[in-house]
Chains A and B, each alone.
Chain A
Amino acid sequence: MRNGQPLSSRNPRGTAAALGLLPFAIYVLLFLAVPTLIAIATGFFDKAGSFTLDTVAALGSPVVISTFFNSFWLSSLTAVLGAVLGALACYALLSARPDGSLRIAVDSVSGVLAQFGGVMLAFAFIATIGIQGMVTVWLRDTFGVDIYTNGVWLYEMPGLVLPYIYFQVPLMIITFMPAVQALKPQWAEANATLGGTRASYWFRIAFPVLAPSFFGSLLLLFANAFSSYATAAALSSQGSEIVPLQIRAALTSETLLGRENLAGALALGMIAVMVVVMLSYSALQSRAARWQQ
């Protein structure tokens, strides 16, 4: 490790300081690096501990492919809807003072709903659109509309869409608001002085400037839905329609699909998706950073 500072480059001190980094490094190694590597590696070994590609090949089986397809579909749908609604909210929040109480309240609520939800979101939606839920009963008694004419879908995949949007929109507000806030009033003024209209401001200036942040946030929302587990696990105690639930099934029953260590292979598949998504995110983010100084 090299010492970055010329002022304090006496060697013994540098070594001592480098030793100070050690506890954190060991901690991260043991509880982040090792578990991640184990998660990836287990997919490549069978029960006896010898190397095999059998389990990874299970990723190609129709059941696993349809699970990944479900996860993609659910994550994309909720990410797009969440991003559009969240961006609208950000636009509306522009007219509130950045350090005013409305913004602080919205930020806090968003933080709670985006990070805290999980199990409670399942409760909330059972209370809302469950079989005896508030909205279900209201629709039935007032309009005679039964949302469950074709069977109860809340505890299956379609039922995940609304709860997922419920935590996607707040996450969008948290991640996209800084970019919207960074739009400079001078740009709008320059546009007006040069004879531009409101439409030309939004379509020629604001949208192009915001585009990298928007798509970056969209990817983050996708990743968020893709890796989310708690809400789905609380709503569906048996099913395994999406990848995280299939990992649960693989972890709790050893012989799913007749293959061992399937959880490892599924984890590998998830990590592969997440790596692609997060690399694209950081590429977009560095483009977006240009406008946020």
Chain B
Amino acid sequence: MSPVLSRRGDVAHAPSRAVSIIILAVIGVLFAIPILAMVEFTLRAGLSGGHDFSRWIALFQGGFTGTYRTVLVALGNSLGLAMGTVAIVLILLVPTMLLLHIRFPRLRRVMEFICILPISIPAIVLVVGLAPVYSVVARLFGSGVWTLAFAYGITVLPFAYRAIQSNIDGVDVRTLSEAARSLGAGWWSVLLLVLVPNLRRGLLAGTFISVAVVLGEFTIASLLNRINLQTALLVVSKADPYVAVILSLLALIFAFLLLLAIGRLGAERRVPVRERSRVKGKS
């Protein structure tokens, strides 16, 4: 009997439990150290040594006053930018993707190319060209921080596109829209009453990943001299590194929860598909 076949479990070539636990534990511990170091850093009680929660308590009791106010303003900026970016994704990107899918399937490769392109253009390169563009934008719309959403819409394009396109591929969009059209629905009702509800998982995943990317964005905001969460954290870290690290930890947890929600959405989608194929196999 060969060792490959005698192995129990779903995947014959998978490592044994012990081996995979050892590998994952080693990598997990190595990756946990910097995070733990951040936690330890925030708990340090002054020069005398020892650890306590005083900095966390002070931050939450004192509220975001004084120097921390900038962080609060910056967080507001980032959340506003996240909403603006999501609006660009939902209002500009999604209808275009659906229209292409239904009416111009041949242009899909072009669309895919355009949407994946920002991955190969580093943000630091884009900034060089965005600076002159933004001097025009500032003349038209003012130099408000919200105008950055235009640039962020491009930054999140690859991530949002992939999340939404995989959902479009999984749902028979064309049949759905033709059925609705033949029952007398207009394009708006097709879009809002038929397609959007069917694509809600992809749209949510695209929304969450966009929010996560925008909240983590530093390069463009920093070099165009706008204030967002990341640039403010860097400024605060110069004055009070402890608060900067506490806020970073909170932001990391928030981003983790967002992506965990995406993962759950994906898992929900996978289970019914497997169920379906099992039924098909039996019949």
Contact = CB atoms under 8 A, between A and B. Distances in A.
A40 B122 CA distance: 13
B29 interface: no
B183 to A, nearest CB: 16
A97 interface: yes
A121 to B, nearest CB: 8
Contacts of A153: none
B34 A183 contact: no
Interface residues of A, number: 100
Contact of B256 (A109, A192, A263): A109
A278 B5 CA distance: 39
Interface stretch (B16-24, B55-63, B76-84, B192-200): B16-24
A227 B119 CA distance: 10
B128 A38 contact: yes
A233 B23 CA distance: 32
B4 A188 contact: yes
B206 interface: no
Interface string A245-288: 00110010000000000011001001100110110000000000
Majority SS of interface residues in chain A?
A: helix
A23 to B, nearest CB: 6
A21 B24 contact: no
B120 A32 contact: no
A74 to B, nearest CB: 14
Contact of B92 (A1, A24, A120, A124): A24
Interface string B28-66: 000101111110110000000000000000000000000
Interface string B81-102: 0000000100011011001101
A97 B31 contact: no
Contacts of B37: 124, 127-128, 133-135
Interface string B117-132: 1111111111111111
B13 A89 contact: no
Contact of A244 (B122, B131, B262): B122
B166 to A, nearest CB: 12
Contact of B130 (A35, A189, A248): A35
Contacts of A95: 9, 11, 14-17, 20
Nearest to A136: B37
Contacts of A35: 126, 128-130, 133
A36 B129 contact: yes
B241 to A, nearest CB: 7
Interface stretch (A49-57, A100-108, A142-150): A100-108
Contacts of A18: 104
Interface in B155-169: 157, 159
Contacts of B95: 20, 24
Contacts of A36: 121, 125-126, 129
A229 interface: yes
B115 to A, nearest CB: 9
A187 B4 CA distance: 11
B114 A28 contact: yes
A226 B122 contact: yes
B239 interface: no
B227 interface: no
Interface of B: 2-5, 9-17, 19-21, 23-24, 27, 31, 33-38, 40-41, 88, 92-93, 95-96, 99-100, 102-107, 114, 117-133, 150-151, 153-154, 157, 159, 178, 209, 212-213, 215-219, 222-223, 230, 233-234, 237, 241, 244-245, 248, 251-252, 255-256, 259-260, 262-264, 266-267, 270-271
5 tightest A-B CB contacts, nearest first: A227-B122, A35-B129, A39-B129, A38-B129, A92-B23
Interface of A: 1-5, 7-8, 14, 17-18, 20-21, 23-24, 27-28, 30-32, 34-40, 42, 85, 88-89, 91-99, 104-105, 107-109, 111-113, 115-121, 123-128, 133-135, 166, 169, 183, 185, 187-189, 191-193, 195-198, 201-202, 206, 223, 226-227, 229-230, 233-234, 244, 247-248, 251, 263-264, 267, 270-271, 274-275, 277-278
Given A32-B157, A116-B216, A166-B31, 18 more contacts: A4-B103, A17-B103, A21-B99, A21-B104, A21-B107, A27-B92, A91-B15, A92-B20, A96-B20, A109-B31, A119-B234, A121-B34, A128-B37, A128-B38, A189-B5, A248-B124, A271-B125, A275-B120
